[in-house]
Amino acid sequence: MGARGVDVFVGLLAGLGFIFIGTQFLTANMKQVVGPRFHTMMAGATGHPLRAAAVGTAAGAVIQSTNAVTFIVIALVSAGAATVREAMPIVTWSYAGSTLRLLVASLDLRSATLLAVGLIGIAFLLGYDRSARHRHLVAAILGLTLLLYGVQLMVESAVPLRQSETLRTVLALADRFYPWGFIAGTLIATVIQGQTVSVVAVALAEAGVLDPDQTVLVVVGANLGAGLQAIIQGAGLKGTHRQLNLYQLVLKLIGVAVLLPLLLLEHYAGVPTILALVALMPVGVALQVTAVHWLFQIVSALVASALNGPLFHLIERLSPPTDEEALAKPEFVDRRAVGQPLVALTMVEQEHRRLLRRLPDFLAPVREDAEAPPPLAPPAVLHAAGKELTATIDGFLKATLESTLPPAELERLMRRWNGNELLGALHGTLGELVPVLARAGDHPDTRRVRRAMAESLHTLLLVLIEEAEDTDAVERGVILHLTNDRSDLMRRIREDLSERADLPLAQRQAVWRATDLFERTNWLLRRYAINLGEREEAGPAAALTSGGGTVRG
């Protein structure tokens, strides 16, 4: 390789580096700039196809990351603010909006890029990069500038390759196997972000290294590769989270199923289709290829929108909701009630009752009651679902707190907030206690201790549930009496087991750990009962809650 070859190689490598760094800066910081706003906009757009299409396109154009849009949608679905079917159009149309990056990269913006570098330098000089309000916007503009500079550097560095006999030979061989560009684009995009592959392909086409028809095939393949990459990255996802992951691949398959046969027909049969259409545009090859990329997204979005129902049923069959998701999904909390504090707090109380009623099911694996009904789910699932649901309720309470509340309602909200924290801690502690009790073994002494702990906690939980649901109860002395300090009892249990030489060390350690967790559970139940006893026993809230029905805002 001569000096000129080294310069070409270094230039191409530097161009790739600027493109990768710029893409990362742009997408990461735009998520910080507009992510929360689009979260709210998406929540309001779900269930309205046209509004969802507009918001999805805008989100893809501004955030420049369809994965980021998908993550926001997953958060909405997890919080119960939307169903997968309602949220699908947002993901569908975000791809059309994300084409804006490729469009900008296709334009000759050398002077604008240099001007942007100067302005960013001034922003750094003035300290805007350290401002909490402006630093993400400055970094996002810097990312876009680096991306554009990387494209220009690649174009300039790749121009000498047009004279390379080796490259001509390779491309001549590739022309004999027309689909090579599609295959190459697919394989590369499973490793590198699909749109980045398209940006590089456009730069090489602009430099005259790649023919327009092969560049178009690379772009189509890169779209499919992006869908495959999403599947690979989400290999551990299950349920509704995996549904949106699968949906991204389905979108890409739709675009390939429509565009690839037309391109093959045009190449082998000479029938004018896509390339003939974009050739009519009075623009350069870079913009023509970008137009094909945009056409891919639009065709995919239109077909997917028309087939939204059947596609949803197919994806739901491939990845049905998990038990954990069903238990973690709110039944009463509705974000539309945030502006109605009285209704919102009543919804939270109803969700808390759901969480309370699940607590006895944690103990099913360590109880010996043959007549007990089957539990809702294993302890690990109950724990994970409780953690997610209490987090959703926490976000709902924070949003409600932003409203102007009278002192009485504010105090009630803070009690519900405290109760939510305690319920989350109870789910976590019971989720840890039950496996520890199960490890205590079947030694007569450890089995006796396990049975006593399980039955004692089961009784405490039933009493607490009864008092929580009895809105007319004036005094809650029973649960407070039952949850008196048990530290002396737990200490005696540990001392008794320490004297048993025939007890295996692992079982002894399990019981010791169980006594600690039992004390913590007992304390949490007492705190929850105290918090419960402090709530208002009369007024409109009690009347609404005692109705037993679902309240919707």
Residue 550: pLDDT over 50? no
Of 318, 349, 374, the position where a domain reaches its end is 318
Q: How far apart are CA 552 and CA 542, in angstroms?
A: 16
Top-confidence range, 2-11, 344-353, 420-429: 420-429
pLDDT at 166: 64
297 falls within a domain: yes
Are 253 and 370 found together in one domain? no
Confidence of residue 150 (pLDDT cuts 50, 70, 90): confident
Contact, 427 vs 382, CB < 8 A?
A: yes
- Average per-residue pLDDT for the chain: 81
Are 311 and 367 found together in one domain? no
pLDDT at 168: 64
Quick: pLDDT tens for 476-513: 567 777 778 777 777 787 777 776 767 788 888 888 88
| % of the chain beyond a pLDDT of 70 | 86
Summarize the confidence of residues 137-159 as an average pLDDT: 81
Residue 159 DSSP one-character state? G
By three-state DSSP, how is residue 242 classified?
Answer: helix
Confidence of residue 544 (pLDDT cuts 50, 70, 90): very low
Residue 423: pLDDT over 90? yes
pLDDT at 264: 92
Confidence of residue 427 (pLDDT cuts 50, 70, 90): very high
Confidence of residue 144 (pLDDT cuts 50, 70, 90): confident
pLDDT at 35: 55
Rounded to 10 degrees, what is the CA torsion of 208, 213, 214, 220?
Answer: 120
Summarize the confidence of residues 328-346 as an average pLDDT: 82
Summarize the confidence of residues 213-233 as an average pLDDT: 88
Of 291, 318, 345, the position where a domain reaches its end is 318
Q: How far apart are CA 105 and CA 203, in angstroms?
A: 8
Instruction: Provide the b/e sequence for 149-178 (b: ≥16 CB within 10 Å).
Output: bbbbbbbbbbeebeeeeeeeeeeeebeeee
Q: Indicate the range of 28-37, 409-418, 522-531 predicted with least confidence.
A: 28-37
- List phi, psi (to 5°) of 209: -80, -40
Summarize the confidence of residues 391-417 as an average pLDDT: 84
Name all contacts of 4-7 with Cβ < 8 Å and 24+ positions apart. Answer: 4/160, 7/157
Contact, 269 vs 188, CB < 8 A?
A: no
Confidence of residue 265 (pLDDT cuts 50, 70, 90): very high
Top-confidence range, 219-233, 253-267, 430-444: 253-267
Q: How far apart are CA 282 and CA 207, in angstroms?
A: 18
Residue 221: pLDDT over 80? yes
Contact, 49 vs 13, CB < 8 A?
A: no
Are 404 and 489 found together in one domain? yes
Token pair 């196809």 is at which residue?
Answer: 49
326 falls within a domain: no
Q: How far apart are CA 56 and CA 42, in angstroms?
A: 8
Q: How far apart are CA 162 and CA 223, in angstroms?
A: 26
553 falls within a domain: no
Smallest Cα–Cα separation from 160: which of 12, 285, 286, 14?
12
Are 336 and 311 found together in one domain? no
Residue 284 DSSP one-character state? -
Are 353 and 227 found together in one domain? no
551 falls within a domain: no
354 falls within a domain: yes
Domain count, the chain: 2
pLDDT at 186: 92
CATH of the domain at 412: 1.20.58
pLDDT at 541: 40
Are 345 and 477 found together in one domain? yes
Are 84 and 202 found together in one domain? yes
pLDDT at 174: 65
Summarize the confidence of residues 296-324 as an average pLDDT: 87
- Is the pTM here over 0.85, yes or no? no
323 falls within a domain: no
Structure tokens of 383?
């724990």
Helix 66-78 vs helix 49-63: crossing angle, to nearest 10: 130
Summarize the confidence of residues 167-192 as an average pLDDT: 79
256 falls within a domain: yes
Residue 445: pLDDT over 90? no
Q: How far apart are CA 285 and CA 293, in angstroms?
A: 12
Single-letter code of the amino acid located at 398: K
Summarize the confidence of residues 124-149 as an average pLDDT: 84
Summarize the confidence of residues 233-252 as an average pLDDT: 83
Quick: pLDDT tens for 522-539: 999 989 988 876 554 434
Are 422 and 515 found together in one domain? yes
Are 390 and 255 found together in one domain? no
Token pair 């080294």 is at which residue?
Answer: 6
Quick: pLDDT tens for 46-82: 667 788 888 888 877 777 667 667 777 777 776 666 7
163 lies in which domain range?
3-318
pLDDT at 536: 42
Structure tokens of 447?
């089995």
Are 138 and 268 found together in one domain? yes
Summarize the confidence of residues 352-364 as an average pLDDT: 93
pLDDT at 539: 40
Structure tokens of 551?
């309240």
Confidence of residue 31 (pLDDT cuts 50, 70, 90): low
426 falls within a domain: yes
Summarize the confidence of residues 360-367 as an average pLDDT: 92
pLDDT at 46: 67
pLDDT at 158: 73
Instruction: Provide the b/e sequence for 76-110 (b: ≥16 CB within 10 Å).
Output: bbbbbbbebbbbbbbbbbbbbbbbbbbbbbbeebe
Residue 451: pLDDT over 80? yes
Residue 2: pLDDT over 70? no
Q: How far apart are CA 534 and CA 302, in angstroms?
A: 55
Q: How far apart are CA 434 and CA 247, in angstroms?
A: 38
pLDDT at 220: 93
Are 337 and 298 found together in one domain? no
Residue 546: pLDDT over 50? no
Are 313 and 387 found together in one domain? no
Of 273, 291, 318, the position where a domain reaches its end is 318
- Greater confidence (495 vs 118) lies with 118
Contact, 294 vs 96, CB < 8 A?
A: yes
